[in-house]
Amino acid sequence: MQQHIPVALERCIALLTPAIEKSSNPVVIDATLGMGGHSKELLERFPNLKVIGFDRDLGAIEIAKKNLHATQERITIVHAVYDQISEVLGSMGISEVDGILFDLGVSSMQLDTPERGFAYSQDAPLDMRMDQSTGLSAQEVLDTYSRNDLVRVIRNYGEEKFATRVVDNIIAARETGKLKSTKELAELVKASIPAATRRTGGNPAKRTFQALRIEVNQELEVLERAIPQAISSIRIGGRLVVMSYQSLEDKIVKSAFTKVTASHTPLGLPIDLPNSAASYNLVIRGSESASAEEISLNARAQSMRLRAIERVAA
């Protein structure tokens, strides 16, 4: 298994530090606990910090529990989808937290475990569920969705120009029963893409696999619901830090951050009118990428976009 290197670890810690240091009993939510890479470092650096870690993947939680054993009394691990942040905080009697971190997408553990079905380079059943205890697998999506729905998914979430060709081949393969594994899907996609296009842009299966994964896990809908909950769950002085790995996720984060950091004062006035100033400030103008040095050590950091806001008023 590939060694797990948390993405932008030092930068995330630096962004959360002012919020943690302002509080006498700091609490941070790690919305995407994974193997606990970011949480472990936060818990070690801040001896009074408590972390609430969410993950929808029971396998990830098992690994995180082991990795965070030394600080187990300061971490609460919740098996939940991160659009349940408000509900979970409510059930714990917590109204606000000092920081929230999202490190979106799949983990290297999920990608490197062939039987999870996320990797087009390994042969495995078409599962792709982050939470294998619930929901439709990629196989069920491929077998049961209408042609129009499959085209929508593969075109919108995979940004695949040849979505209709891919889907026509999927529908044909349903008849022959020849679409039962990641390898068969990767080959079907490759055969659907014109040869001239196949020579550029990496493995052609990448876009269709991304699309199916997003659909299977309802990733964008969940994120749309989660970000506003996260925004309203940070206290004044608290910070929300999000790392996205593809443009559709980043668009959701950017738009939510733009909305809450915009002043309500009419354009053209030199200062904010009373009660019109925004309650949140951008900590990062636009977004940040990983450094070339980090990308050379960790390929996953290549597509990362980092955004952060701070709550400045009620």
Ligand X SMILES: C[S@@+](CC[C@H](N)C(=O)[O-])C[C@H]1O[C@@H](n2cnc3c(N)ncnc32)[C@H](O)[C@@H]1O
Binding interface with ligand X (CB under 6 A): 6, 32, 34-38, 54-57, 60, 81-82, 103, 105, 107, 130, 222
Report, in Å, the least distance between residue 73 CB and ligand X.
Answer: 20
Of the two residues 49 and 60, which places its CB atom closer to ligand X in the complex?
60
Report, in Å, the least distance between residue 168 CB and ligand X.
Answer: 31
Of the two residues 4 and 180, which places its CB atom closer to ligand X in the complex?
4
- The span from the CA of 173 to the CA of 176, in Å, is 5
Q: Are 172 and 253 in contact (CB under 8 A)?
A: no
- The span from the CA of 101 to the CA of 103, in Å, is 7
**Up-side HSE of residue 49: CA atoms within 13 Å toward CB?**
27
Of the two residues 3 and 275, which places its CB atom closer to ligand X in the complex?
3
Calculate Rg over the CA atoms of the chain.
21
Q: Which residue has the tokens 């039987």?
A: 115
- The span from the CA of 124 to the CA of 116, in Å, is 7
Beta bridge partners of 125: 181
Per-residue DSSP letter, 248 = H
Coil/strand/helix, residue 298:
coil
Q: Which residue has the tokens 């450094």?
A: 291
Report, in Å, the least distance between residue 55 CB and ligand X.
Answer: 5
- At position 201, the amino acid (one-letter code) is G
Q: How many CB atoms lie within 10 A of CB 223?
A: 23
Beta bridge partners of 77: 53
Of the two residues 279 and 287, which places its CB atom closer to ligand X in the complex?
287
- At position 277, the amino acid (one-letter code) is A
Of the two residues 143 and 288, which places its CB atom closer to ligand X in the complex?
288
Report, in Å, the least distance between residue 83 CB and ligand X.
Answer: 7
Of the two residues 68 and 309, which places its CB atom closer to ligand X in the complex?
68
- The bridge status of strand 234-244 relative to strand 305-311 is antiparallel
Of the two residues 51 and 166, which places its CB atom closer to ligand X in the complex?
51
Q: Are 98 and 23 in contact (CB under 8 A)?
A: yes
Report, in Å, the least distance between residue 94 CB and ligand X.
Answer: 18
Report, in Å, the least distance between residue 54 CB and ligand X.
Answer: 5
- The span from the CA of 299 to the CA of 5, in Å, is 10
Report, in Å, the least distance between residue 6 CB and ligand X.
Answer: 4
Report, in Å, the least distance between residue 32 CB and ligand X.
Answer: 3
Of the two residues 16 and 188, which places its CB atom closer to ligand X in the complex?
16
Of the two residues 130 and 240, which places its CB atom closer to ligand X in the complex?
130
- The span from the CA of 153 to the CA of 212, in Å, is 7
Report, in Å, the least distance between residue 33 CB and ligand X.
Answer: 6
- The span from the CA of 168 to the CA of 106, in Å, is 28
